[in-house]
Structure 1
């Protein structure tokens, strides 16, 4: 039986500069994961992903800061799938993912942690139920 844990890994669709882009990957290629290398002067251009439920309630009530810069709503992308957001993070399209690890029972949570840390990312807990996935040099605060 074959498991397709990350179905979007071969073809990534994303928006950048008001255009839709598609990245295609060769599954035979090794080391294709790359996280963004953050620069402290580009906090205004960092992209953050949140789940729909968090974006509707949590972000409106609590401002999110990346390296002490408040994130504007146009820098936030919402996904219904943590796996897809992780795929975008692992291919360098996102800087940060914020998700509620208690809201859903993620069957692949351990796998996501393994892949993110192997690619050089970190997973931090910023509250009792909120996890953040980002590069090690990014500081998230609320």
Structure 2
């Protein structure tokens, strides 16, 4: 997901809102098969050194978090910036199994869609593309 570079702060806040970490709506409605998000997702910082090892990031990474919705389902969100564009990449956090990757892809799409909606509600234009790459991509 990309926004103008000047909207980086709003992008970071919108991701937290989508994860239910602010006064925004809860992510309890996310579901994949028999996995249902019944509690507030956990957000934790992700070191940039770890990001460089795990993921291919298109722009200069400046911050990263992991958003876990279930004990085995998590998405790494990498915030990046260049001269004109700020972005959030929603990336699968694990490579445990094909089933977990599918669940993480669904969670990433949910977070990206909710983040885009939160930004659009504040009149910030977004460009959204869906792809949840695993650590092996």
TM-score by shorter chain over 0.5: no
TM-score (norm 1): 0.30
TM-score (norm 2): 0.31
Work out which of the two has the higher radius of gyration on C-alpha atoms and give 1 or 2: 1
